Each structure stands twice: as structure tokens, then as C-alpha cells.
Amino acid sequence: MAEVVLFHHALGLTKGMYAFADKLEAEGHTVHVPDLFEGHLFTTIESGMAYVSEVGVETIIARGERAVSALPREMVYAGFSLGVLAAQSLSQTREGARGALFFDACVPPSAFGSPWPADMPVQIHGMDADPFFAHEGDLEAARELAKAAQHAELYVYPGDRHLFADCSLSSSYDADSAALLLHRVLEFLRRLDRGAVCPQNTLLDSGRA
């Protein structure tokens, strides 16, 4: 079974983050859910990002690094939106990473000073009309990463909801898309457990954005 570190989004460590972790653990995986906000929770993305601006993005990433310092190196790093920064940084820079899961966000690998590791499996999810994912460069970065990586899956869902897989956010949760995302994530983790990877890149991309 896989050992996963799941980093939360800009609203903080919501009940939906714990619920997502519970679903992975129900399948036998071990999931760690660090709190990058040191107990702070927010009701809007804007207020959460104001906190990030106050403490600094570098601080958020450094908190992620500290959170895993005592954990094994053979981890899968996962992140929702803001949490992708910590997950992607660790995937690229911490030796031993087994795979990466990015939800609602992606940044160019060059942001962390190195190319994407050649043998690192990655799975990326987002909605094609999500104003944060589709219109702020994340979808473009995800497409570029998926084409450059040897083992990549990019799934772009129809819709405009950010954080659509957080079941505690009634205004953005999309049950059908979230269920499909979870199915794909569990299959990704099963392949890692079998020592297998996708034989070729999978780009299920609507192309609308």
C-alpha cells in the first residue's frame, strides 16, 4: 500500500480534506494530512490567500518540508490547489518520492529549479472552466508537464468549480466528478503498489480552455 502526504488548499485543513484522506485509508493506504496554516481556517479563497501573502509562500512550502522531515522518503505527495506547491516541490526535490497527485493546480517544474524527474508518475486533475486552474496558467503548466513527463495522466473535467473534490464545500463540491477523481486516484495508487505505471501518457483533456 502507498504512503501519502496530502496538503490542503487555501481554506485550510477542512473536514473535506480529512474525508478525502479517510477514503484513501479505507483502501489500505496510509495518509498524512499536515496543517500548513497552523490551525487557521478560512471561509473564502481570498482570505486564505491573504494569509499566505502575509506569511509568505516560501514559509508555506517550508512548513510542508518540515512536516515530512521525519517521514519515510518513499512517499506519494498530493496537494489540493495551494497544497500543490508543497506537493510539487517535494516531488521534484526530495529523494525517494514515488509519485505525485495534483488537484486544481499545477506550476511549471522550473519553478522549483529542476526538470520533472524522468521516472516520476504524476496524475493531475482540474476543471476546464475553473477560473483558478484554467485561466491563471495552471492548466497550461499541467499540459506541458504531462507531455514532458514519461508517466503522466491529465484529467480535465467539464465545469467551473475550484476544489470540486472537497465534500465539505457545498458551493464547489461536484459529487460525480469527485467520485471519478477518487476512482482514478485509487487506480493510480494501485498501480504504484504493483510497481506498475501507465504505459503511456494519458491526456483526457476537453481542450475548452
Q: What confidence tens digit (pLDDT) does each residue in 72-130 have?
A: 999 999 999 999 999 999 999 999 999 999 999 999 999 998 889 988 999 999 999 99
Q: Which residues on neighbouring strands pair with residue 76, listed in sequence order?
A: 4, 99
Structure letter (DSSP) for residue 96 = T
Q: What are the structural domains, with CATH classification, of the chain?
A: 3-204 (3.40.50.1820)
- Sign for the CA dihedral angle at 38, 42, 47, 48 comes to positive
10-27, pLDDT tens digit by residue? 999 999 999 999 999 999
Whether this prediction's pTM lies above 0.75 is answered by yes
